[in-house]
Amino acid sequence: MPKRRNEDKIKRYQRKIRKMEQEKYKIIIYSSSSDSGSVKGFEGAKEAPAELLYEKCDIFVFSAKEKTVNETVAAKVNCKIIAEAANGPTTPAGDKVLRKRNILVLPDLLTNAGGVTVSYFEYLKNLNHVSFGKLSIKFWRDSNTALLDSVEQSLKKACVDAKITPTEAFRSVMSGASEVHIVNSGLEYSMTNACQNVMKAAQKHKLGIDLRTAAYVTAIEKIFTTFDEHGLAI
């Protein structure tokens, strides 16, 4: 096992050094030409074929720019799932072709919502003028300490002399969640809930793999519910 760990560590260092060399190469290319900075021509690297866009894969993540997957591209991509991690990477015509080919599209409205969600968390933080967890961190630390002490005292009453010691994992929880943990957990909950709602809408309205329509249906239903609760719906 120690030998295996050392080998893994060496490989990580090699990858890190390789990455640093690539970044240095990009800077040199950028400063010596009108190129925007690229790793093309990097020594020892294998250049991908020109038609990389149509290579066979399971999941293709489009995360660069809008209108990338048009009707032509949609007819030639060779994947099972497309994840839209950019704003509007698929055109309406391309979307129709993908549906006809039974390629599942995870729409940008859902897949790309994480950044906007965290921006909303930041907005809430600015309204409160205090970071997440700052007011409750000591309370949770004291509460968890009291909980362990209560368990230990209960065991002693049952004639079990045992010292309750928290594990490292629980100790980190005892100290209270950091702002990063709170934001990440809130993001995970929001995205998981959104995905479940979209899947339910797809099943309810028998939309098959058309998750884009399901996402729009879910959003519109939420807007209607809000208007209806405020007496604004007709």
Q: Quick one: 41 exposed, middle or buried, by C-beta within 10 A (0-12, 13-18, 19+)?
A: exposed
Walk me through the domains of the chain, giving residue ranges and CATH numbers.
52-111 (3.40.50.720), 114-229 (3.40.50.720)
Residues in the chain: 234
**pLDDT for the residue numbered 28:** 46
So what's the pLDDT on residue 61?
A: 94
The helix (run of H) or strand (run of E) holding residue 32 is helix 2-32
Element (H, E) at 104: strand 104-106
Nearest to 90 by CA among 102, 78, 115, 107: 107
d(CA 114, CA 87): 12
Tokens encoding 167: 């594990």
**Which pTM was predicted?**
0.67
Q: Count of CB atoms within 10 A of residue 108's CB?
A: 21
Question: Tens place of pLDDT for every residue, the chain, 234 residues?
Answer: 454 565 666 566 566 656 666 566 554 444 444 555 565 666 666 776 667 889 899 999 999 889 999 999 999 999 999 999 999 999 999 999 999 999 999 999 999 999 999 999 999 888 887 777 666 677 777 777 888 888 888 888 887 887 878 777 777 766 666 788 888 889 999 999 999 999 999 999 999 999 999 999 999 999 999 999 888 877
* Amino acid 140: pLDDT: 72
The dihedral of CA 121, 122, 128, 131: what is its sign? positive
